[in-house]
Structure 1
Amino acid sequence: MTDRYEGSFYGRRKGKPLSPSRTKLVEDAMPRLALDLGSPVPADLTGLFDADVEDVCLEVGFGGGEHLLHRARENPTTGFIGVEPFVGSMAKVVTTVVAEDIKNIRLYDDDAINLLDWLPEASIDLAYQLYPDPWPKKRHWKRRFINQQNLDRYARVLKPGHQFRFASDIDTYVDWTLRHCRDHAAFEWTAQCASDWKTPWDNWPGTRYEAKAIREGRIGRYLTFLRV
């Protein structure tokens, strides 16, 4: 039986309408910031950025952008590709990138599968997926992004010896991810003791989804897998 799901792995794309000023800002900035998957695939992703970067990280589903922006600010020589189909979240990040003139971020506002299939093989130094939509009802589990096919995609674009990081406060999704990565030959869980998966990564900024989980009594789990 396959995990393949033909359809989107995210929910709604639009919430409250953007203000006219923010709409214009996004329209003006996105041609410069957004990746064009219709263009030839670059041999070296570092050339995608306005900054001189040495390596490239990928965050799929950046939500409010807290983690993406924090990492980009603290690592100016690393390029960050952020994926988020939700219009409001994308607008928030674009506004901050423009206001702070952050030069080491590029964005993609559609299905992450398209981007993963476009990226060159072994081109990403680190990949994050943090607090993704858990699709908590069992009949919706097929819509969870972590599955055999998407792990194949992550494995293809990640450099061997580099990491895929996943965080969630939903126990069934944590178990789901552990099982799928355990069964995938390209990934190895790096945890040596319980604190390894109960403790966020260094300089963790937190996210609004994590804060919501804590308020509601749930605890985040932080999984690190090595691309072997």
Structure 2
Amino acid sequence: MRKVTGDSQNSTGRAFFGRRKGKPLRDRQARNLAELLPTLAIDPGQPAPADLRAAFAAPVERVRLEIGFGGGEHLFHRVEENPKTGFIGVEPFVNSMAKLLGRVEERTPGNLRLYDDDAVDILDWLPDASIDQIDLLYPDPWPKKKHWKRRFVSQPNLERFHRVLKPGATFCFASDIDSYINWTLLHCRRHGGFEWQARGAADWLTPYDNWPGTRYEDKAKREGRGSAYLTFKRL
């Protein structure tokens, strides 16, 4: 959330990163990154299992990918809420990864795997039709028009989504930035492999079921901006 972005050329979908690290880490956070993260990390340099469910320590029935999980509020909530779903969380910002690890350090969930670099690495590593849902929630909006080409939603990345999602699976996108909401709707329509599921305004103005909220959503509300919650079905 507000961390993983699209590439500056927008021709390959490779990530364009700003800061990778913010304020200095506390000793406990640094220890978690050094010791806990490797136990949960995915190595895209190794072949993916034919059945992606085998990548998790616990038995799971579905697999869900969250790209740019920020402080991990939403991801951790879903991990605890859905023990039979395997979650892959991607977040390149060191301080955000440290925050999530602080949430899981006492009881490491068997249905969670993590990656701390470019989300495209994971998308290219995943087997075809292996993912039941992709969440892209409050990504960096790159609000200036000259920077829109850096947004993560692009034709190359939508093609990646389409490849790894199962037929009928969902892509969920949330944002408080009108231009990015419209951008995503237009790009999904242009791609042709995604069907927007809204039938009325309430469908995209209402948060997802059991939505925990995020700090970015709270900030948007304080600043007078509403949010949209878009759901697309992979055709």
Residue 192 in 1 paired to residue 199 in 2?
yes
Match of residue 171 from structure 2: 164
1:88 aligns with 2:95: yes
Matched, 1:145 2:163: no
CA–CA distance in structure 2, aligned partners of residues 19 and 200 of structure 1: 34
Q: Given the alignment, which residue of 133, 136, 152 partners 1:126? A: 133
Cα distance in 2, alignment partners of residues 127 and 89 from structure 1: 19
Among 77, 84, 88, the alignment partner of 2:84 is 77
Contact 2:47 / 2:125 at 8 angstroms: preserved in 1?
A: no
Structure 1 Cα separation of the partners of residues 29 and 67 of structure 2: 23
Structure 2, gaps ≥5 residues long: 1-8
Q: What whole-Å deviation, never above 9, does each CA across 1:33-62 have from its counterpart, x for those lacking one?
A: 010111112101111111111110000000
2:181 corresponds to 1:174: yes
The Cα of 1:164 is off from its aligned counterpart by 0.3
Which moved further from structure 2: 7-16 or 83-92?
7-16
d(CA) in 2 for partners of 1:82 and 1:55? 14
Q: For the Cα contact (< 8 Å) 2:62–2:85, is it kept in 1?
A: yes
- Among 16, 20, 33, the residue aligned to 1:26: 33
Q: Relative contact order: is structure 1 or structure 2 higher (C-alpha 8 Å, sep ≥ 6)?
A: 2
Count of matched residue positions in the alignment of Structure 1 and Structure 2: 227
Give 1:9 shift: 3.4
Alpha-carbon distance in 1 for matches of 2:139, 2:99: 18
Q: Is the 8 A contact 2:14 2:118 kept in 1?
A: no
| Aligned-residue offset at 1:100 | 2.8
TM superposition outliers: structure 1 runs of 4+ over 4 Å: none
CA distance in 1 between counterparts of 2:84 and 2:100 reads 19
Compute the RMSD of aligned alpha carbons: 1.3
Structure 1 equivalent of residue 117 of structure 2: 110
Matched, 1:208 2:215: yes
Instruction: Tell me how far apart the structure 2 counterparts of residues 81 and 177 of structure 1 sit (CA, whole Å).
Output: 22
Q: 1:88 is matched by which residue type in structure 2?
A: N
Query: In 2, Cα distance between the equivalents of 1:3 and 1:35?
Result: 25
Report the TM-score, using the length of structure 2 for normalisation: 0.93
Instruction: Give the SS at the match of 2:226.
Output: coil
**Is the 2:142–2:151 Cα contact (8 Å) retained in structure 1?**
yes
- SS of the residue corresponding to residue 129 of structure 1 reads strand
Matched, 1:135 2:130: no
Structure 1 contact 25–95 (Cα < 8 Å) conserved: yes
Residue segments in structure 1 that go unaligned for 5+ positions in a row: none
The reply on whether 1:155 has 2:162 as its aligned counterpart is yes
Q: Distance in 1 between matches of 2:24 and 2:10?
A: 35
How far apart are 1:17 and its partner, in Å?
A: 1.2
